[in-house]
Structure 1
Amino acid sequence: MEEYEVRDGGAAIDGGRIAAAPISWGVCEVPGWGYQLSPERVLSDMRDLGVTATETGPEGFLPASPDRLHDVLDAYGLRCVGAFIPLVLHRDDSDPTLAVTELLDRLEASGGDVAVLAAATGLHGYDHRPDLSESEWATLSANLDRIGTLAEERGVTAALHPHAGTMIERREDIDRVLESSSIGLCLDTGHLLIGGTDPLELVRRCPDRITHTHLKDVDVDLADQVRCDALTYTDAVERGLYVPLGTGGAQIADVVSALAAADYDGWYVLEQDTVLPDAESGDRAAVEVAASLSFLYDVVAHPIRT
């Protein structure tokens, strides 16, 4: 495997924590999403890079049994941060609470503390989304509050993830959620930019609603093409939509510093979606993760004063 190295870093950013996610190695729930590396390869890379915590990745990537999940992660020196779960939240004939309860059971038993929710369209992938009616908006908002309450009762933080190709994607979607629901947000710097939201402005506007963070840096030209429907999300990721932290247009250093200044105490998850054409391209993914981690540790050591 190609050589890669990240210098020693700390696990804390002013009370927050650094973690990784399997999607940075191309592991994704979308059918046909490139070559899927094994858990052993991904987790060993995380360990070798000094990562100490991870999100669980898509269903089936890691064991469903909480005890087995804990043991597998522990073997690589990792702990469970939480899990990403796409759910249909806007339909009256679809009750998401069963799936959420199962997820909360798993997180509670395995030590994870964040349920990262995406408002799924019900379609495959993240390339298209319909518009919501007023009644569907009411259902979605009510479900968000129900899930937030269920999670809080179990000692888990629920965070809604604005995400390209989901029902909560654009700035107007996020503003409506902030007005109609009390759920916290997952600040995903990449998806926010793609949807037309400035992540730094969002942190400064409502820091109390940010309960989880996914750090991505973005090729702005490709993001613009996704926003205006000149490229699908999947095509843009294949072309290199996400770039190592500090080399794109997401203002990562400013965002992290603004969160720290607002006393944010949640996770900072390095989560750079990528599509791998083959097993060998896993080496490139690991190199890019290493570069992003080194940048992030530099931000920790030398925060921007604003």
Structure 2
Amino acid sequence: MRLISVANAPVSFGVFELSDAPPPLTSAEMVSAIAGAGYEGIDLGPLGYLGTKDDLAERLDGLLLAGGWADLRYGDAGEFGKGLDALDATLEVFAAAPPAPDHLKPRPTLGCSGSPARFARPGGNAPGLEPGEWAGYASRVQEAVRRCRDAGFEPAFHHHLGTYVETPEDVERLLELTDVQLCLDTGHLLLAGGDPVTALRDWSGRIGHVHVKDGDRAILARALDDGVDLRELMGRGGFAPLGEGELDLPGVVRALEETGYTGWVIIEQDTLPGRRSVAQNITDQAANREKLRELGL
């Protein structure tokens, strides 16, 4: 049995929210492209894109469900409470996923809504939570963890640029205050001033999910100089195709193997709809899969 399997995600194709405008490609087209490139799984994407609990398994057409984003405002008790219904709805869809070995069961990815005043700075010096705010933040993360576990799923918290848990120091604090597993995202950590290879080793006992993405700090620096937001950073290519940014991809793969990681590795190349052609996105994700295959995954 393979202990690490590789998935991709709708965000790599510019699909991370549903609106009145149609997505750049249908879910069937995306599933076909991802399966054709040799991926074994896919992330859920925005709720409803890959179907409902009634038709999810059929629409995955042989792929496994690797995980899915659940966004909550942990920094605001009232808004956090309002978001729990959406978390529960996401968990209902997870329950309809195709059967998978225990280590490949889908992981709810607990994301934090952004801090309006926060965006990453090279070196990881962006302002975050005040010391007195951490206890409440952590307690709400723990509440989300409990709801996921009650539904039969082990979640993983996703540190993220432009949020309250962005820098390596933020991640350390969250791990101290909760028992949540971590979704280690190599691109977000790299652009927040961290070293993904070191993080994979230092936090190996708490890492339950891995997003592999590359990052370009020169594009980040220009974006910061221009005063644009995280969304525009994605549109400018801040998260590069694997091997075209600054990520030590061979080092990441070695660290996964040497620390005994088991579970999903999800390749992501966050982009905006319309910035790249569908054909280019499909080509990129096939090439990204081949990069990991060449390194033994």
TM-score band (shorter)? 0.7 to 0.9
Partner of 1:88: 73
Mapped contact 2:7–2:40 kept (Cα < 8 A)? yes
Deviation of 1:58 after TM superposition, in Å, equals 1.1
**CA–CA separation in structure 1 for the residues paired with 2:25 and 2:48:** 13
Does 33-42 or 144-153 show the bigger shift?
Answer: 33-42
1:294 aligns with 2:290: yes
Partner of 2:123: none
**186, 190, 193: which one pairs with 1:189?**
186
1:235 aligns with 2:232: yes
Amino acid at match of 1:28: F
**CA–CA separation in structure 1 for the residues paired with 2:258 and 2:71:** 31
Partner of 2:91: 104
Percent of aligned positions with the same letter in both sequences?
A: 30
Deviation of 1:140 after TM superposition, in Å, equals 1.5
- Cα 1:178–1:78 shift into 2, 3 Å: same
**CA–CA separation in structure 2 for the residues paired with 1:39 and 1:154:** 26
Partner of 1:282: 278
1:252 aligns with 2:252: no
Amino acid at match of 1:24: S
Mapped contact 1:33–1:275 kept (Cα < 8 A)? no
1:209 aligns with 2:206: yes
1:170-218 deviation line (CA, Å, top 9, x unaligned):
2221121122111111111111111122111111112011110111011
Does 79-88 or 35-44 show the bigger shift?
Answer: 35-44
- Cα 1:180–1:258 shift into 2, 3 Å: same
1:86-141 deviation line (CA, Å, top 9, x unaligned):
11112222325433333222212324520001111376xx89x9843445322220
Mapped contact 1:195–1:227 kept (Cα < 8 A)? no
**19, 40, 65: which one pairs with 1:52?**
40
Mapped contact 1:54–1:81 kept (Cα < 8 A)? yes
Deviation of 1:225 after TM superposition, in Å, equals 4.1
**CA–CA separation in structure 1 for the residues paired with 2:97 and 2:209:** 18
Q: How does 1:2-41 map to 2 (within 5 A)?
A: 12=2, 15-29=3-17, 36-41=24-29
Structure 1 unmatched runs, 5+? 1-10, 302-306
Amino acid at match of 1:185: L
**CA–CA separation in structure 2 for the residues paired with 1:32 and 1:242:** 26
- Cα 1:246–1:264 shift into 2, 3 Å: same
Deviation of 1:245 after TM superposition, in Å, equals 1.4
Partner of 2:220: 223
**CA–CA separation in structure 2 for the residues paired with 1:33 and 1:131:** 34
DSSP 3-state at the match of 1:106: helix
Structure 2 unmatched runs, 5+? 99-104, 121-125
**CA–CA separation in structure 1 for the residues paired with 2:39 and 2:206:** 26
DSSP 3-state at the match of 1:82: strand
1:26-80 deviation line (CA, Å, top 9, x unaligned):
11128799963221221221122122210111123122x2231111112xx2121
Deviation of 1:295 after TM superposition, in Å, equals 0.6
**156, 161, 166: which one pairs with 1:159?**
156
**CA–CA separation in structure 1 for the residues paired with 2:21 and 2:169:** 29
The TM-score normalised by the length of structure 2 is: 0.85
1:42 aligns with 2:22: no
Amino acid at match of 1:257: R
Mapped contact 1:246–1:252 kept (Cα < 8 A)? yes
1:116 aligns with 2:137: no
Mapped contact 1:196–1:227 kept (Cα < 8 A)? no
**CA–CA separation in structure 2 for the residues paired with 1:61 and 1:248:** 29
**CA–CA separation in structure 2 for the residues paired with 1:34 and 1:169:** 31
DSSP 3-state at the match of 1:204: helix
Amino acid at match of 1:286: I
DSSP 3-state at the match of 2:77: coil
**CA–CA separation in structure 1 for the residues paired with 2:248 and 2:153:** 29
Mapped contact 2:191–2:216 kept (Cα < 8 A)? no
- Cα 1:207–1:227 shift into 2, 3 Å: farther
**CA–CA separation in structure 2 for the residues paired with 1:104 and 1:16:** 23
Mapped contact 1:35–1:275 kept (Cα < 8 A)? no
